[in-house]
Chain A
Amino acid sequence: MGGRFDAIMDRKSEIMLRALGMDYSQYDLTPIAFEYEAMMQAHGFSIDDILGIQREAGVGVTPLLELGNMTDLARSMAPPGHGARIFVKDEAANMAGSFKDRRASMSIHTARLRGYAGVIAATSGNYGAAVASQAARAGLGCVICQEAFDSRHIGQPEILEKSRICEAFGAEVIQMTVGPELFAHMLELLEQTGYFAASLYSTYGISGIETLGYEIAEEVRLRTGAFPDAVVITHAGGGNTTGTARGLRRAGAHQTAIVSASVDLSGLHMASDSDFNRKSFTTGHTGFGVPFATWPDRADVPRNAARALRYMDRYVTVTQGEVFYVTEALAKLEGLERGPAGNTAMAAALAIAREMPRDATLVVQETEYTGAGKHHWAQLAFAREQGVEVRTGDPGDSVPGQSIVIPQRPEQLSVTDVDLARLRRSYVRNALAHAPDGYTPTAVDIGFLAEDTNSDPDWIERAIAGLATGT
């Protein structure tokens, strides 16, 4: 980075150490490996502690709704005897309207406990609303840095709504044009204010999501007599997948399949000024989902607590048009009008439920609030204004950034599987590329990479050998 941000980037480690109150280097084992579980447990909160803190903050204990009409819709297009029972955890019922309240609550709790005067987060999503809401309750100052506009000062209506809600909760919102330098400006603000860095990817944030998986496991067992067979999770930076899966395990639901789902935005560049307003999803998409799965440590903390490859059993994509269709269907069939990005997993669930037997259970683990700007109609109207073609047809024909195709029939809903072996290899390549030149991975590294990719040491050794020979 040129110019005046160079100096601040040089002080990144020092600023983040003060702003997070946590020295990540103590968990390093080698230039590649680190002690993930020790890092996750460093805050010392048990699941009961976290549940207690969240109760006090007004977070969680959201309704688990069985969706009889969506289930019958899946069954109406499934082979005989198929069509799993579909449930949804209505996370929109949280105070700021999404599961992000869980994520924010532990950071705000920690910031208050340690005497910070306020919190800062970089987010254009629901997380900003959650941080602002929790900060208001805790009496803390709050600054939210948002990538909000293209260079013409045109903003996606969903992001403009996020600016509004953050300001409604008393946050100072910095609305910026497109570019990764947002992070450098956040560092400047952290240094200037002495505030706590309420990072999406800190151990606090991810621990806060564990209660979501925990509540789902307990409630489904209570209602059906067994843990859910599958949980479908909208996936972006990896926190939702990681936290939910860890929570399910904490409750003992080790057999529940973890299915991550993202909206396919392949071909769109996340730092492009001209692509910025040609996407109708600002989160839950492959533009975050794939890069963060294959290199989690690109985040704003030294070690990302969200490490999705550790937990994913399956990763699927759906198209923008399919998610908008299912968002409309959910409102009309279930009386549940919710935001589209949070319905990414719902779109995938309708396709996946068809593959599962009727007595199986599938949980969509979140919803998010909707409203002006966030509403799917608002987003489609905006897409058309930006020159994106919106039409009905086969969603498989859509091209991200150029067209959004709304299905004509529910049979057109499908999922595309992402090859997890390819993602794991890509992760291994990135891990090796970030080690010092000439570094040879040790047995400790092989073991760590196997855990971090949910594979095994033999597979990692073969992957490393394959990378070396270019196969």
Chain B
Amino acid sequence: MTEEDLTAPARCTPGEWVEIERVLLVPADRAPGLPAETATTPLRMWLKGFACADAQLGEELPIVTMTGRTEHGRLTAVRPGYTHTFGEPPPGMASIGRDLRERLAAWRSAEDPAREPAGETPNPPGPAGGAR
């Protein structure tokens, strides 16, 4: 695969998997009783399908969806993928498992000193052990 293949293209050809956008309701047509920050924005939708024409990003085109419906809208992505991730450990998260395993081990040996400390898995010694 060339480097060019890896870059999201700016135009599509018929039959390609694409995403389009369409405005369903302009602000004046929105439901009554909405909070102001919602009422002042249009109701928009995005939808994926197979392109029925050549188009550049931003141009109108028809698509055929997975259920076979024909829809139309402005081209927003060609070969759209998914980029959501697992994130990174937020503050205070990474130590929870260590602290709770230590806590359980300590509690179990206090409950029943004859019993082995919890854990088929050895617990690395933690510096703070914030559980107590």
Give A residues with C-beta under 8 Å from B. 1-5, 69, 72-73, 75-76, 118, 141-143, 148-149, 151, 153, 157, 160-161, 164, 167, 170-181, 185, 192-193, 269, 271-274, 324-325, 328-329, 331-333, 371-373, 375-382, 384, 390-392, 406, 408-410
Contact = CB atoms under 8 A, between A and B. Distances in A.
Nearest to A165: B82
Interface string B55-97: 0000000000111110000000000001011111111110011
Given A390-B90, A391-B91, A5 B97 contact: no
A329 B131 CA distance: 12
B8 interface: no
Contact of A3 (B28, B69, B85): B28
A172 B34 CA distance: 28
A384 B130 CA distance: 24
A141 B38 contact: no
B87 A1 contact: no
Given A172-B48, A180-B34, 6 more contacts: A75-B107, A160-B82, A179-B30, A372-B85, A390-B90, A409-B130
A175 B43 CA distance: 11
Nearest to A185: B24
Interface residues of B, number: 50
Interface of B: 24-26, 28-32, 34-35, 37-38, 41-49, 65-69, 82, 84-93, 96-98, 100-101, 103-104, 107-108, 118, 130-132
A72 B105 CA distance: 10
User: What does DSSP make chain A's interface, helix, strand, loop or mixed?
Assistant: mixed
A303 B62 CA distance: 38
B86 A378 contact: yes
A333 B101 contact: yes
12 contacts: A2-B32, A141-B68, A149-B46, A151-B44, A161-B84, A175-B46, A177-B44, A179-B25, A269-B35, A272-B35, A391-B92, A410-B103
A40 B100 CA distance: 45
Nearest to A176: B45
Given A76-B107, A164-B82, A332-B100, A380 B30 contact: no
User: What does DSSP make chain B's interface, helix, strand, loop or mixed?
Assistant: loop
B67 A3 contact: no
A121 B28 CA distance: 27
Given A2-B30, A141-B68, A391-B91, A176 B35 contact: no
Nearest to A2: B29
Contact of A384 (B37, B43, B90): B90
B49 to A, nearest CB: 7
Contacts of B66: 141-142, 167, 170-172
A351 to B, nearest CB: 15
Contacts of B25: 3-5, 179, 181
Given A73-B100, A175-B47, A380 B118 contact: no
B47 A172 contact: yes
A324 to B, nearest CB: 7
B31 A76 contact: no
A380 B88 CA distance: 9
B29 A76 contact: no
Contact of B84 (A151, A179, A373): A373
Nearest to B119: A69
Contact of A176 (B24, B86, B130): B24
Contacts of A381: 87-88, 90
Nearest to A335: B121
Top 5 nearest A-B pairs by Cβ distance?
A332-B97, A3-B29, A381-B87, A392-B92, A373-B84
A181 B69 CA distance: 21
Contacts of B118: 69, 72
A72 B24 contact: no
Contacts of B93: 324, 328, 376-377, 380, 406
